[in-house]
Amino acid sequence: MLDAPPHHISAAETIEICKSYEFLVLFTSTPGWTGDQRLAEAIKRANPQMKIAFVGPPVTTSPDKALNECPAIDFVCRREFDFSVVEFANGKPLDQILGISYPKDGSVAHNPDRPQVDNLDQMPWVTDVYKRDIDVTRYNVPFLLYPYVSLYSTRGCPAQCTFCLWPQTLSGHAWRKRSTDDVAAEMAHAKELFPEVKEFFFDDDTFNIQKVRTVELCEKLKPLKLTWSCTSRVTTDRETLKAMREAGCRLLIVGFESGDPQILKNIKKGATVERARDFARDCHELGLTIHGDFILGLPGETKESIRNTINFAKALDVETIQVSIAHAYPGTEFYDFAAENGFIINNGAMVDEGGHQLAHIEYPGLPKDYVLEMVHRFYDEYYFRPKAAWRIVSKAIVNRDVKRLYVESKSFLKLRAARNKVVADGKQKAGKTPGPAVNAGA
């Protein structure tokens, strides 16, 4: 496994490394597609014998486009790819591998779909691969303890959130789980492999959707005395949260998305603002930290609903937040809605050349630059409250982590300046003079 960017391995070095291999599996994304395609072409030029498979959402939703645009690709895997690539590596001919598409006689052949993997326990443990191939200290996520290791204990999510990429493209709505014995055994192993790691993060689509399984797993994790974190829906009840806390859970990553009841209905979140409030209260009382995710620009968004969301977030008062602009990824219900109604702009581009988020959805009466500016405003209003600022500083002092706080504050302010510039540039392009931040919904 090669994860080049965090290890500061350049494209030229990646191409050099690829000269010693005969088969490459490249996980691509919609924002990364153009760069990945160029990289694959350069790898093929440097090593013409190399077989190249692309996997990931954009090649799942548009296999013809991918293969037509990039002749360097030998085949793409649609949806789950674990066993397709192993079969190819073991010499199975392309026309016998389920779930792949490949160039054939001047067009694209699509083999029948591959059934989803039901028995996740048959997969090898990823932590052994991490130990062999990556340096875990290269990864730093501000709201997780450092260093951390992330892994999966389930796949898929039965919820129907219209904007969510993974269940609609890769992992599916069938929730499949590893046995609690398998997960607990890997965690015990990981503890030995990575004594320096401070936190293990279950990056499942949704970790604790089934109470019985969560409580059973917690029983088995408890004796390991690990610190861990996971994704969570706000529908998780107090008893489950308590079991998690007692088993070493420290933090939950929670998709609140919006504080406006109508938006939650529009995106089929399957949760209410009232439930979100109760959930946040339970977590705080039990000593669980929350990292809350919010999205601006979802279907039906107005200046008023944006204001509702910002006020809602401040009332929840979770420890850290992440605010994104709504992105409609091909293959999602949200994308179909936006395309059918003509709401997609900028040819669907999601990031600019500098890698900054671009708004690519615009609704009548809600200019995209306004939404972008409100993302910026959201962060400012949230973190520049005395309560929020003091909580962060005091935690860093208690944890003797002031150095990390300094580094992260610097990077936050740098990002803030970059966001400011994007907003100001957008205003200039629109022929307006940059002024003070607008007072949304006021």
Determine if 66 is a binding residue for ligand SF4 (CB under 6 A). Answer: no
**Least separation, in Å, of the C-beta of 159 and ligand SF4?**
4
Determine if 360 is a binding residue for ligand SF4 (CB under 6 A). Answer: no
Answer whether 53's CB lies under 8 Å from 77's CB: yes
Instruction: Determine which residue in the list 58, 167, 248, 330 makes contact with ligand SF4, applying CB under 6 A.
Output: 167
Instruction: Determine which residue in the list 39, 157, 316, 422 makes contact with ligand SF4, applying CB under 6 A.
Output: 157
How big is the site for ligand SF4, counted in residues (CB under 6 A)?
9
Residue nearer to ligand SF4 on the CB measure, 155 or 419 = 155
Q: Tokens 């690990």 correspond to what residue?
A: 226
CA distances from 402 to 140, 147, 239, 392 (A): 15, 16, 34, 10
**Least separation, in Å, of the C-beta of 202 and ligand SF4?**
13
Alpha-carbon span 121 to 394, nearest angstrom = 42
Strand partners, 102: 109
Determine if 100 is a binding residue for ligand SF4 (CB under 6 A). Answer: no
**Least separation, in Å, of the C-beta of 347 and ligand SF4?**
26
Answer whether 366's CB lies under 8 Å from 301's CB: yes
Residues 6+ positions from 360 with CB-CB distance below 8 Å: 327, 328, 344, 345, 346, 347, 348, 349, 350, 368
Answer whether 293's CB lies under 8 Å from 232's CB: no
Q: Quick one: tokens of 72? A: 């360097």
Residue nearer to ligand SF4 on the CB measure, 43 or 273 = 273
Determine if 248 is a binding residue for ligand SF4 (CB under 6 A). Answer: no
* Positions 361 through 380 that interact with ligand SF4 (CB under 6 A): none
Q: Quick one: tokens of 357? A: 């988020």
Instruction: Determine which residue in the list 56, 57, 255, 292 makes contact with ligand SF4, applying CB under 6 A.
Output: 255
Instruction: Determine which residue in the list 206, 208, 229, 309 makes contact with ligand SF4, applying CB under 6 A.
Output: 206
Determine if 63 is a binding residue for ligand SF4 (CB under 6 A). Answer: no
Q: Which stretch binds ligand SF4 (CB under 6 A): 11-19, 85-93, 155-163, 361-369?
A: 155-163
Residue nearer to ligand SF4 on the CB measure, 154 or 180 = 154
Alpha-carbon span 146 to 126, nearest angstrom = 19
Residue nearer to ligand SF4 on the CB measure, 77 or 170 = 170
Determine if 205 is a binding residue for ligand SF4 (CB under 6 A). Answer: yes
Alpha-carbon span 321 to 295, nearest angstrom = 11
Decide the pairing of beta strands 154-155 and 176-177: antiparallel
DSSP state of 191: H
Instruction: Determine which residue in the list 177, 233, 360, 419 makes contact with ligand SF4, applying CB under 6 A.
Output: 233
Answer whether 110's CB lies under 8 Å from 173's CB: no
Alpha-carbon span 208 to 231, nearest angstrom = 7
Residue 1 burial by Cβ neighbours in a 10 Å radius (0-12, 13-18, 19+): exposed
**Least separation, in Å, of the C-beta of 39 and ligand SF4?**
29
Q: Which stretch binds ligand SF4 (CB under 6 A): 33-41, 48-56, 161-169, 234-242?
A: 161-169
Determine if 331 is a binding residue for ligand SF4 (CB under 6 A). Answer: no
Determine if 258 is a binding residue for ligand SF4 (CB under 6 A). Answer: no
Residue nearer to ligand SF4 on the CB measure, 84 or 168 = 168
* Positions 75 through 94 that interact with ligand SF4 (CB under 6 A): none
In the complex, the residues that contact ligand SF4 under the rule CB under 6 A are 157, 159, 161, 164, 167, 205-206, 233, 255
